[in-house]
Chain A
Amino acid sequence: MEPITSDPCYSSWLEKSKSPSHSLFKEELVELYRRAGVASIFCSLPPKRVSPRAPMEIASANVICLQVSFCDLQEILPFSSSIGFCKHPLVSLATQRCRLSGEPCRLSVVVKCSLPSDPLLIRISISDTGVGSCLEEFQGLKFSRQSIGDEKWDGVLSVRTTGKCDNEVYHYQLNLKESASARRLTRLPSNPKNGVKFSGTEVILSMFESADALVAEINCFFQKNVAYELVVERGDAPGSQCEHVFLANESNPLSFSASNLECLKSGIEDYVLKHGYKKEHLKVGSGTAYCTEGHQNTGWMMDTVIAISEISEPISSCFRTSGAKSEVIYFKDFSPCSVSRSSMKALTSIDWRSFGLTLKSIANQGGYAFLDWEGLPPNTRIDIILHSYHKQAIMPSAKQETQLDRNLIKRAVKLALDDLKEKHAGVLLSAHALKIRSYAPDLAKTIAGLILSSNDSGFQGECFSLLGLQCQGVGGEIVEDCIKKKIISVIEMNDRKSHERSEDVAPFLFEDECLQELDFQEDEYEEGVGFVFLARLYMRFSQLDQLMLKPRILSMGVLESPAWLPTVYWQLEIEHGYSLS
């Protein structure tokens, strides 16, 4: 059986996969697979798949897109974890290679029955168009006898790989069961590339497993694949019963240079919008935190996206969670990952209260963290996605499995929450701000009342102009409303900033430069120490051009002089301030 990579169709396909337009793509791919005998893939998919287009729809110009049905490799592939085959090193390595190439790539995993006569022998091929493989990454793989039985797989990987600058496609065979490193790698004859420039890798393994068993596992995988879509970003997968179809959003394709964070954001937006939530009710915040050791960036970072969405009436939700619960979707290195205990602890220790949220409980179900909120408004849901990865694509190895800094999660989530607050006024207000905000209408009413009860049109005019209102015919309600809006925006702004600044002092009503700093205590009365020279204070009032004030200020100066100077005069002045002669 010919490996796919040597198929001329494959190379032309590789070339084409890099171009944004893919009108011929579909046909080519079908042809390719047909020739490779994998047309059966489509048939093996669950009949309830939503969109017939789905498997072939390929996103335009995206980093990676996943091909169909590499589902149950978790069952059959060696060293897979209980969650997501994507943690499988082979796929993960392929992912890394694609990332390293810096170009749009394609990763495909194909499962097919090797021989029609023997349905138990299946062939799994994982291929990608990323950079060529340095074989060390495979050398590092360890074969664990627990995860897969000896009789199921012979431990042999067939690897074909080529880099852009290579003249040929190299072919190797790796025997992972072989302990001696010398006998692990066998070099096989290469294929010439005939001048075509491309890079890619294909890893093939064969093992004994029932294809039906594979099919049975597909739904389970696809459920998890939902999450994967977000990372992989406009990849496509046939939907589960709940119609989780991610079609390429052609109306708003992300540019290639979109950061991982933007991809993540776009993904969650699509995810939520497809479930009946409206764009205007969707509020998204994001943030990236960097892991540092000492003062150095270790290169590990965490992207976080938090989406808050509201609907007017509840829909039969296909989400795993209902509104009051949030699921934390967690990725590591572009693969879905189970949430670790330290991550759970980190999530619990976040100060949700300062964002107006009360966490009732947190549970770990099947590797996913579920946050149970108290008092969340009905029909509001919160989705949280975390993705930790290394800045540079590095080959994962056992040694490099960094224990994620617990603070990294805290910081990342907080950044995303702050971002949400920053972008959307009035969202995630702390309980304190909500309380203060409740006083805003009364204050606005009082001040509006003051303005309107005056019979001094000059004063009123100046007030209106400060508020940005037209002087003529302004009703009390408009004035009140205007003041209320301004007060509320200050309260919300202060709430957003409250994390950054510690003790910011609001300006005084009668501001004076001489006023020194004040200490605040938690008390009905807050005592402060400030020394304001009385004369200056009264300068404020003398702005009003009240002649009678000026003599007073003069007389203040007189205070300094000895007693025999007109003390009595001064005394009279104080007591009968307005009846000066």
Chain B
Amino acid sequence: MGDLRKSSMRFFSDQNLCYADILPPSEIRARIEVAVLNFLRILASPTPAISDLPLINRRSSNCRTSKGLLAQVSCVFLSHSFCTRSLMRANTAKAFIRVWKVMEMCFGVLVQEKRVTQRELFYKLLCDSPDYFTSQLLVNRTIQDVVALLQCSRYSLGIMASSRGLVAGRLLLQEPNQEVVDCSECGLSGHAISGDLNRLETLILNTDARYIIVVEKHAIFQRLAEDRVFNQIPSILITAKGYPDIATRFLLHRLARAFPDLPILALVDWNPAGLAILCTFKFGSIGMGLEAYRYACNVKWLGLRGDDLEMIPEQSLVPLKPRDLQIAKSLMSSEVLQENYRRELEIMVQHGQRVEIEALYFHGYDYLGKYIAKKIVQANYI
């Protein structure tokens, strides 16, 4: 029972949760085949019609939060609200066809038992149907549509995540029957996190760290890695170099489960975007709500925070951009945001200013390490 309590228990009491399954290729192929058969069946029926595609709605209106009952993790998930892609409406007809085209492409990939990245998929689709796919963004969105239609993970579709993430510090990684990789010896660029979730899943992890530090920016990660901060404070450094990708989150989640006693601390810029990144690690995202909820971790906000501002020279304060305000607004409207975060956000918006972590260098290049150490020791994280 104690074990159960220790493990981050989630109690999803509602059937409203919608999630994407991680399934083998044969299963996904089968789902696509069912889709085709149903389409043809309805097309060839006595009352023929062109069926609409029901997609789980990936909007904040369909977003629910679940608060872990016994433990600390809340996450964001999607419920059973559908939106449709229909051929019969002129402005969504193309989107409708795009979904089918991506399904066709993924089906082919799965039949050949291959894996492709989103980028590769984009180029294939661009050559095949230039009228329909004009940008990577369109491809990514359509992939999410297919995920929402078939309710399977992107990975199951044969799409590899190309990860941006890096990990460094006191962590030993070993793929089965491979050499052990010591992440403290990877130099200032750290160890690249694989995009292949399967491989990440099978990694054998070992650590003697006491903390996991999630870093927003690559430059800061490099600085910390170069200064070997992880030896001064036994820690694991991890970064997604910006907005978190699924692979980085996956690894973080694995670390969190494997080493549940390690607090996860986030080092982000003091601006709405930084907080948004933190929240994505913490709760998941709506856009990838069918999959991302699984990887929610109990991340705490180390810095920069409002009370750090006194250490920052005036000149480092930069006005907020309109985009920042938009992000702030959408964060505010999220019911999952806790009170202290909300307060911080309010101060940000009131000041109308933001600060980057680099501002701390005012006090010297090694100040950052000291800053972190001090905060950790004081348990000054929320």
Contact = CB atoms under 8 A, between A and B. Distances in A.
Interface of A: 432, 435-436, 439, 442-443, 446-447, 449-451, 453-456, 459, 462-463, 466-468, 483, 486-487, 489-491, 493-494, 505-511, 515, 518, 520, 522, 524-534, 537, 540-541, 543-544, 546, 548, 552, 556, 559-560, 563-564, 567-568, 571, 574-578
Contacts of B36: 447, 450-451, 459, 463
12 contacts: A442-B97, A453-B108, A455-B111, A468-B44, A486-B48, A506-B49, A507-B49, A509-B52, A509-B53, A525-B59, A568-B7, A578-B23
List 9 tightest A-B contacts by C-beta distance, closest first.
A466-B40, A563-B11, A509-B51, A544-B30, A446-B100, A450-B104, A525-B83, A508-B54, A506-B52
Contacts of B31: 541
Interface of B: 1, 4, 7, 9-13, 15, 17-19, 21-24, 27, 29-44, 48-54, 57, 59, 61, 69-70, 80-84, 86-97, 100-101, 103-104, 107-108, 111, 129, 131-132, 149, 151, 294
Contact of A563 (B52, B70, B83): B70
A518 B81 CA distance: 10
A507 B52 contact: yes
A490 B46 CA distance: 11
Contact of B86 (A526, A533, A543, A575): A526
A449 B27 CA distance: 19
Of the candidates B39, B42, B83, B97, the one having the most CB atoms from chain A within 10 angstroms of its own CB is B83
B92 A524 contact: yes
Contact of A508 (B33, B48, B51): B51
Contacts of B101: 446
A527 B36 CA distance: 24
Given A442-B129, A559-B15, A563-B9, A507 B23 contact: no
Nearest to A571: B10
Given A541-B34, A563-B70, A453 B107 contact: yes
Contacts of B24: 578
B43 A511 contact: no
A450 B107 contact: yes
B42 A526 contact: no
B42 A546 contact: no
A521 to B, nearest CB: 10
Contacts of B69: 563
Contacts of A563: 9, 11, 69-70
A487 B294 CA distance: 40
Contacts of A507: 42, 49, 51-52
A367 B143 CA distance: 62
Given A453-B108, A463-B40, A486-B48, A528 B84 contact: yes
Contacts of A525: 57, 59, 83
A140 to B, nearest CB: 56
A526 B92 contact: yes
B51 A450 contact: no
A110 to B, nearest CB: 61
A549 to B, nearest CB: 8
Nearest to B38: A509
A530 B111 contact: no
A510 B33 contact: no
A467 B50 CA distance: 14
A528 B41 contact: no
Contact of B15 (A456, A529, A556): A556
Contact of A543 (B19, B34, B57, B92): B34
Given A436-B87, A526-B86, A527-B83, A578 B27 contact: yes
Contacts of B90: 432, 435-436
A453 B15 contact: no
Of the candidates A432, A450, A508, A568, the one having the most CB atoms from chain B within 10 angstroms of its own CB is A450
Contacts of A534: 15, 17-18, 80
A526 B84 contact: yes
A35 to B, nearest CB: 68
Nearest to B24: A578
B19 A574 contact: yes
B15 A567 contact: no
Given A436-B87, A454-B111, A489 B13 contact: no
Contacts of B87: 436, 439, 443
Given A450-B36, A575-B294, A526 B88 contact: no
Contacts of B103: 450
A351 to B, nearest CB: 17
A443 B36 CA distance: 12
A447 B99 CA distance: 11
A524 B90 CA distance: 10
B331 to A, nearest CB: 21
A486 B95 CA distance: 20
Given A518-B84, A525-B83, A528-B83, A486 B44 contact: yes
B82 A490 contact: no
B40 A467 contact: yes
A432 to B, nearest CB: 6
A524 B22 CA distance: 28
Given A455-B111, A567-B10, A575-B294, A509 B35 contact: yes
Nearest to B85: A526
Contacts of B41: 466
B38 A443 contact: no
Given A439-B97, A526-B84, A559 B12 contact: yes
Contact of B100 (A447, A453, A459, A522): A447
Contacts of B54: 508-510, 515, 528, 530
A529 B57 CA distance: 9
Contacts of B12: 559
Nearest to B22: A577
B148 to A, nearest CB: 11
A495 to B, nearest CB: 10
B34 A540 contact: yes
A26 B10 CA distance: 102
A567 B4 contact: yes
A277 to B, nearest CB: 33
Given A509-B53, A515-B54, A541-B34, 9 more contacts: A439-B87, A447-B40, A505-B52, A506-B86, A526-B86, A529-B81, A534-B15, A559-B12, A576-B22
A128 B377 CA distance: 118
A520 B52 CA distance: 12
B104 A446 contact: yes
Nearest to A556: B15
A530 B36 CA distance: 22
B33 A530 contact: no
B37 A459 contact: yes
Contacts of B34: 510, 540-541, 543-544
B22 A578 contact: yes
A518 B85 CA distance: 13
Contacts of B35: 509-510
Contacts of B149: 509
Given A442-B97, A490-B48, A530 B4 contact: no
A463 to B, nearest CB: 6
A153 to B, nearest CB: 65
A506 B88 contact: yes
A534 B149 CA distance: 13
B228 to A, nearest CB: 34
Contacts of A489: 48
A540 B40 CA distance: 16
A489 B94 CA distance: 19
Contacts of B39: 447, 509
Contacts of A544: 30, 33-34
Nearest to A442: B97
Given A449-B104, A527-B61, A563-B11, A577 B21 contact: yes
Contacts of B33: 454, 456, 459, 544
A453 B80 contact: no
A490 B13 CA distance: 43
Given A528-B83, A543-B34, A544-B34, A522 B10 contact: no
Contacts of A450: 32, 36, 100, 103-104, 107
